[in-house]
Structure 1
């Protein structure tokens, strides 16, 4: 009898075995198991699991923006446009979108790079944001930023000058990058953010990372996450200029993950594109990929998977190859493109939907500011905790001191100390966060990432639970 499987761990794509994605890792699996146990009546020291592992705003209670949902409803079911309950500006938006769809249906394929109308509106959004011209032909729509980031990173899968390719990524980082590099077989060149200086990106550290990686690899690209995930910092214009000069001097392609720009609380946002153009030649002709998504910001439509990348200054043959690869995937979801159209061109003063839209958008911004301030204040009052100010994104990334005895207990179980800590937190309080080791951190430091957009009562419950757990944890292991 034939027992051997056609594909085994030994003969499968070995790159896939190296992928790690802690945001949906073993602690999250355990959280799901605990939820099932609670449903079956298994006694727990808490009533419910509080999921704080992923930035899924609607799952955390943020209400959808009415204008977006009305446009989606009308686009999916045009018969609704006859209703007096639908505002006239929504009806007009839907008509324009459907005119750009094949046979007026969002169920038909769009061009592989996205609907022309949506790309025109995105170009207008970028031009207004940066004061720099933007072209629809430089824009490629995708099913979320993750989809587009992987497509761009795929361009670098080639040995150069007899060395394997490497990509520089920040530590801490969003594990999409490390996971995708593993999948594609690209080397990961880490550069550490400076936690003691508000997670600053230091040129000396970039240089160290580049030199170390260049010993046995050819460094091809530099990833920058601004605002930071999981760290929440926002780069200054001066810092961006320094990074651009570094990339120019080292012949690096820049991938700018700018998906949290609409989550900035108080600081100004400068896109890499704007700064490059303002710096003039030769920097304005550098290659750049800039990513924006509708999963974050005030739209927060994670499940509808919508994003764009603006590709600048690529060689024509390289761009053509990228477009061909994207065409193989047909197109991103057209309903997701409808969301992007609403984000790029939201209601304006004088339109029927504006007042409600503006009120809902202010509400999202207010909650983010309140939760960021509360998380920062609370974490810094817990013994052994420290947390930098959260200027953007929707996460806190506090640093925690883990006693030596707890570290030894973690080693006995074959776990990283912060993984052990987060698992104990889950088992004793029901609060599910992600260990800092899943994002990367300096050796000897320990963190976790938590989302901060829960409803007020649940957020306070989470903060109180973390405080109580930590104080007891110190008593147990100190």
Structure 2
């Protein structure tokens, strides 16, 4: 038998085939079913996965920040590369908060530590400061094999979780934080998704309801669609600088009880896309409501370093919860989130983040760790980047002066651009923009004439989608329509980032102004 098989191989054939077998056949030939003499050719087998058979919850997911407008922007960029003439020479992607893609320079100290962690041979180099080497050695010693390439514990590298806890305690004026309540995540999005997976349960009127602000960051609506949770909208007050009104929250909870079990309340502070910063009084009121209505709080605080208005201050939910006393601090369940992607760092690509979860049931803590262990661990490089965010140079260390200088330069530049954006947009007839108190975006309101709304409907598009698509095609400016974030019926908005360099931002805003004036004339 072995000699016969060897003979087949020598002749270039394979047992069970009719004809020579050769390496390098085309993939199409390799995949095509053999048609044997005397047998009829079979019809192609139907696909198992089709739009009709796929998970309907995935079909329901939408994510406007990278939706149809962005796909169209990619098509236009390819056309420009092929030499197709447009009224502009480049597409400016003002749709997403990607700081370094917009030209923001990385913080030197963070990149130095990351370089040392990635290539430890550099620890012998005199080109790197000792405080950066000290942090890199500490991180590497906590990694398996002293390498970022090893897995970490599912909850994250222990020493990094300790550094996060110490950072939270410093930020909150000494309010204690337990490293065991810290979970390192793949950006804040991963933490938000994970905790929602555990919270969502039930069916019919007992299905979990999750209160989210409108306008909202589309991650929330996307995850709720995927999990089959009930999205419960509460509206921010646009006429009051997008403030959160607790009476509006009460209305949303009361009405939700008629068709679901509202038990989760999501807060984004500072706001995305709206840029508001919540007052301490507002946060206290929200915590009182969560206690009364038995709501699990999710505090998305990734923009906590991005506060620009002189009369605004960031207050963490953890700090306010603690200061309300044991009745609240020992009972209200809270998960709060932070990230390397925003702030002054802008390290989106590292996908570093953490969540702190307090007052979690002991058995649920075990379930959370189990769920996290399924994906093994977050990227260890992202964990290291998060460590540098929470453990930056201290006064007296070699890198402190440069670090402070770079951090303040980024934040002051963002504050300048926030005011510039607000002022220039408010000069455009038919556009109203609230003050940008924080975060990285403006969410101006469009006062569209009825004929423009009718034209949009004729194209089967939401009016602000129609507007933003025209803006992209005629100016090369890519922004996101407000309908992708949610808005009160009959109002129209778009979200634009303030991240481009000042001169380019002025160009962007001037193009928006020119386009808008022409748009109003066309549909007057």
Aligned with 1:19 (options 37, 61, 68):
61
Per-residue CA deviations over 1:337-388 (Å, capped at 9, x if unaligned) read: 1111111010012111111111110110111011000001011111011111
Per-residue CA deviations over 1:210-258 (Å, capped at 9, x if unaligned) read: 1221101111100000000000000000000111111111110000001
Aligned with 2:457 (options 393, 396, 411):
411
Aligned with 1:157 (options 187, 200, 219):
200
2:444 is aligned with 1:444: no
Q: Which residue of 2 aligns with 1:325?
A: 371
Q: Which residue of 1 aligns with 2:83?
A: 41
Local SS of the residue matching 1:149: helix
Q: Which residue of 2 aligns with 1:252?
A: 295
Q: Which residue of 1 aligns with 2:210?
A: 167
Deviation at 1:9, TM superposition (A): 2.1
2:515 is aligned with 1:465: no
Normalised to the residue count of structure 2, the TM-score between the two structures is 0.90
Per-residue CA deviations over 1:33-80 (Å, capped at 9, x if unaligned) read: 111101111010011111100000000110001101111110010001
Q: Which residue of 2 aligns with 1:272?
A: 317
Aligned with 2:476 (options 412, 430, 455):
430
Q: Which residue of 2 aligns with 1:188?
A: 231
Deviation at 1:161, TM superposition (A): 9.2
Per-residue CA deviations over 1:183-233 (Å, capped at 9, x if unaligned) read: 010010000000001111112211111122110111110000000000000
Residues of 1 paired with 2:52 and 2:365: CA distance? 36
Q: Which residue of 2 aligns with 1:282?
A: 327
Residue pairs, 1:83-94, within 5 angstroms: 83-94=125-136
Local SS of the residue matching 2:492: coil
RMSD of aligned Cα (Å): 1.0
Residues of 2 paired with 1:143 and 1:164: CA distance? 28
Q: Which residue of 2 aligns with 1:336?
A: 382
Deviation at 1:160, TM superposition (A): 7.0
Per-residue CA deviations over 1:11-38 (Å, capped at 9, x if unaligned) read: 2211011111110001111111111101
**Structure 1 runs of 4+ with >3 Å offset:** none
Deviation at 1:3, TM superposition (A): 3.3
Whether the 8 Å CA contact 1:160–1:218 is kept in 2: the answer is no
Residues of 2 paired with 1:349 and 1:162: CA distance? 56
Residue pairs, 1:374-413, within 5 angstroms: 374-413=420-459
Whether the 8 Å CA contact 2:205–2:258 is kept in 1: the answer is no
Residues of 2 paired with 1:428 and 1:9: CA distance? 34
2:147 is aligned with 1:102: no
Q: Which residue of 2 aligns with 1:58?
A: 100
- Which one is further off, 446-455 or 156-165? 156-165
Unmatched tracts of structure 2, length 5 or more = 1-42
Whether the 8 Å CA contact 1:161–1:218 is kept in 2: the answer is no
Residues of 1 paired with 2:84 and 2:44: CA distance? 43
Residues of 2 paired with 1:115 and 1:41: CA distance? 50
Residues of 1 paired with 2:46 and 2:448: CA distance? 46
Q: Which residue of 1 aligns with 2:36?
A: none
Aligned with 1:420 (options 442, 448, 466):
466
Local SS of the residue matching 2:377: coil
2:282 is aligned with 1:236: no
Local SS of the residue matching 2:305: helix
Deviation at 1:162, TM superposition (A): 5.6
Local SS of the residue matching 1:290: strand
Whether the 8 Å CA contact 2:465–2:483 is kept in 1: the answer is yes
Aligned length: 478
Please say which structure displays the higher CA radius of gyration: 2
2:113 is aligned with 1:71: yes
Per-residue CA deviations over 1:376-410 (Å, capped at 9, x if unaligned) read: 10111110111111111000000111110010000
Whether the 8 Å CA contact 2:204–2:259 is kept in 1: the answer is no
Deviation at 1:157, TM superposition (A): 2.3
Q: Which residue of 1 aligns with 2:46?
A: 4
Residues of 1 paired with 2:300 and 2:427: CA distance? 32
Deviation at 1:10, TM superposition (A): 2.3
Whether the 8 Å CA contact 2:204–2:260 is kept in 1: the answer is no
Deviation at 1:105, TM superposition (A): 0.5
2:258 is aligned with 1:212: no
Residues 1:113 and 1:215: Cα distance change in structure 2 (over 3 Å)? same
2:168 is aligned with 1:123: no
2:419 is aligned with 1:373: yes
